[in-house]
Amino acid sequence: MKEVICSSPFFGITLSITAYAIGVWLNKKTGKAFFNPLLISYLIIIPLLLISNIPLEWYNEGGDIINMFLSPATAVLAISVYRQRELLKKHLLTVVMGSLAGSLCSIIVVSLMCVLFGLDDALTASLIPKSITTPMAIAVSESLGGISSITVLAVIVTGILGSIISPLLIKLFRIKNEIVQGLAIGASSHAVGTSKAIELGEIQGALSSVALVTSGVITVALSLLI
């Protein structure tokens, strides 16, 4: 009976939606950035699977269906970008240079940290694309000889930390410029951070959406030189 229920696609879908809904409720209830819905989802789903001894393959029957919506959900961000097209035309150079700076800093810092901690080439390659959206990150990782599963984990952790920490850093450093806020979030914490940028404002969301795409393209290009 357990296998019949838990190996059904509806199990993974229902569990994912329920866990995320709890995360959204906690986030709204507390108003604290730490209660990120995605983070709460992981904290609910992973222990539940382990305690109940439910194989990951069973959960993925439904989880993989949800993953199919990742690319369309990212594409929807184009709506906010289109609404701010005049602003983007005006600040095109700023967007490109900001994304380039973010991508270079990410690659350099990761490479130096990997050398400092003595990580091998495979792990280094897996961590280099941590700040870009998952489909691009996997492609970069595999081209460099990295491990895609580690890359996915690094991307997730980066996005969650970015969405939690970015509002705090904006307040700490008193960054008032909405364009700078959006560029910084999108270039450092891809789509997950962009969801937080959208909450801050439409301009931040639009610039973050552009930054995550631009940074991804730049990172792919730079990976060819590594």
185: left (phi over 0), alpha (psi -120 to 50) or beta: alpha
* Predicted confidence (pLDDT) at residue 117 exceeds the cutoff of 80: yes
Rounded Cα–Cα distance for residues 212 and 95 (Å): 10
Give percent above pLDDT 70 in the chain: 96
What is the model's pLDDT at position 217? 85
Burial 111-134 (b: 16+ CB within 10 A, else e): eeebeeeebeeebbbbbbbbbbbb
Segment 40-91, tens digit of pLDDT: 998 999 999 999 899 888 888 887 888 778 777 767 767 766 777 787 788 8
Instruction: Clarify whether residues 123 and 23 are in a common domain.
Output: no
Domain count, the chain: 2
Does residue 82 share a domain with residue 56?
no
Q: Could you list the residue range(s) of the whole structural domain that residue 115 is in?
A: 76-223
Does 110 share its domain with 59? no
Task: Mark whether 194 and 82 lie in a shared domain.
Answer: yes
Residues 23, 36 contacting (CB under 8 angstroms)? yes
Q: Answer with the one of 19, 36, 68 that is the final residue of a domain.
A: 68
pLDDT of 80: 65
State which of 11, 34, 68 marks the end of a domain. Answer: 68
pLDDT attached to residue 223: 85
Q: What is the pLDDT of residues 167-179, one digit of tens each?
A: 889 999 999 999 8
Shared domain check, 172 and 138:
yes
In terms of domains, do 119 and 28 share one? no
Question: Is the whole model's pTM more than 0.85, yes or no?
Answer: no
Of 42, 68, 94, the position where a domain reaches its end is 68
Does residue 21 sit in the same domain as residue 124?
no
Question: Average model confidence (pLDDT) for the chain?
Answer: 87
Q: Which helix (H) or strand (E) holds 122?
A: helix 121-127
Quick: pLDDT tens for 21-32.
Answer: 999 899 888 877
SS3 85: helix
Based on the fold, state whether residues 51 and 86 are members of the same structural domain: no
Same domain, 127 and 16: no
Q: Same domain, yes or no, for 31 and 103?
A: no
- At 1, the pLDDT band (50, 70, 90 cuts) reads low
Query: Do 124 and 194 belong to one domain?
Result: yes
Q: What angle in degrees, to the nearest 10, is found between the helix axes of 37-51 and 9-30?
A: 130
Q: Are residues 58 and 83 in the same domain?
A: no
Residue 225 pLDDT > 70, yes or no? yes
Q: What is the pLDDT of residue 124?
A: 94
Report pLDDT for 50. Answer: 92
